[in-house]
A and B are shown apart, each in its own frame.
Chain A
């Protein structure tokens, strides 16, 4: 039997489209980033933790949250990485140019970390604890990309 040539069938180009419900807390969060360039968190009425992104329920206390508090826009880098290897961008299907930075940002007033890109123009400044600010997109559509990235401020 010939070795591999006939033994693989590819799935082809067909996609599997899907619609994700953002939920009411997420819808408010994105309306605020889009319309007011504001970052909002939800505060647990029991333990007082402020969650960003909001998700309606404090899992630890198992209670509903309905109090909103503004957080940031400044914060510090909680942890980060700099991607050196070009993986496929799930949004485009093409390889993303490297290097680029990812981080978890501890926004002022929040108790959780918010994931986003970090500008790595000056890599020597990218450290855990470095102070950062968001750079807002001109054309905001109510998604995580309303913020282009966070950048280190001195």
Chain B
């Protein structure tokens, strides 16, 4: 099979409210940063994939509004609705198709412009579920209770994820919510929906991220060392929550196994050096790590308490601060990919981890982790 690599990344700072900027302004900034990073001009890009959600953007065909600022004039542009990792998946397939050499992938949203609970309510089934008023937080609170009931993990233990990730964000200049906090601070924060408190939840955010994916024929012709895609997979669970085992994520376990197989990884704990994952809520970091095979089910909290997931730990998780420190919906998974790329190049600055040859980036699409996308990225082909 042909190979592809990521050769440029650009991120806007993640902020609570970019009130001065339109979607196109954010795209312009992220795309130009990615082009500069790669040592390219827009003329070096042969096609564009934008990732956005019409509901979050408050308009239909939201992709068309950012085409110009994304450098798509007179080019082949296509749109993905979902997390940025899925937009990048499509960009990767385009690279492998043989028809394209350099694909620019963007993902954006502005949580500040809508009402998050109404927007996420609209993702529920309109016949049976939406009218009851469920939203992302209430649904994930039920998943958290199911997980904690099955594993015995406590809210105090999960709170340490918030402490770690907000603390890591102090070293990441693009993070929205750098904070030095304690488990006590998390446990004292406002109860939103049992067992989730305010500091268990990722914030509402604005941001745009862009990456350039290149076919192997041209991957080494630009400025930066290519970061190679070694493994890549996604899997999807049932739409109705009531059909799923909410205490588990079978889709993630399967996606991770597929990605490891493609990458030739047999022992992910030993062969993967760092992880950026989709911690929309504290318990999710634990559950996702367990389903990907980095801890036994219900036991990630023990490794967390030992400091193994710290920036200087054996397996740094969300050294950037993760979603706890900024959650631009749609773009969030693409930020995970960009962060792994910076780490594997040794360019992550103050939150650079020591050993970074092979990294895992994870994105989620759908409510309570209905669908998961797992990327294995590597310094080596």
Contact = CB atoms under 8 A, between A and B. Distances in A.
A135 interface: no
A128 B122 CA distance: 27
Interface string B13-27: 000000110000000
Residue with the greatest number of chain A CB neighbours at <10 A, chosen from B128, B141, B192, B247: B128
Contacts, number: 110
Given A81-B142, A87-B133, A115 B241 contact: yes
B142 A104 contact: yes
Contacts of A114: 242
B1 interface: no
A91 B133 contact: yes
A78 B245 CA distance: 10
Contacts of B127: 20, 22-23, 26, 53, 144
Contact of A128 (B121, B146, B195): B146
A144 B133 CA distance: 12
Interface residues of A, number: 40
B132 to A, nearest CB: 6
B240 A4 contact: no
Nearest to B141: A81
Contacts of A64: none
B142 A79 contact: yes
A88 B145 contact: no
A59 B118 contact: no
A91 B58 CA distance: 19
Contact of B117 (A4, A53, A88, A104): A88
Given A51-B243, A112-B242, A103 B133 contact: no
Residue with the greatest number of chain A CB neighbours at <10 A, chosen from B133, B192, B195: B133
10 closest cross-chain pairs (CB), A and B: A113-B242, A81-B141, A79-B146, A87-B117, A112-B242, A85-B192, A84-B191, A81-B193, A53-B128, A79-B142
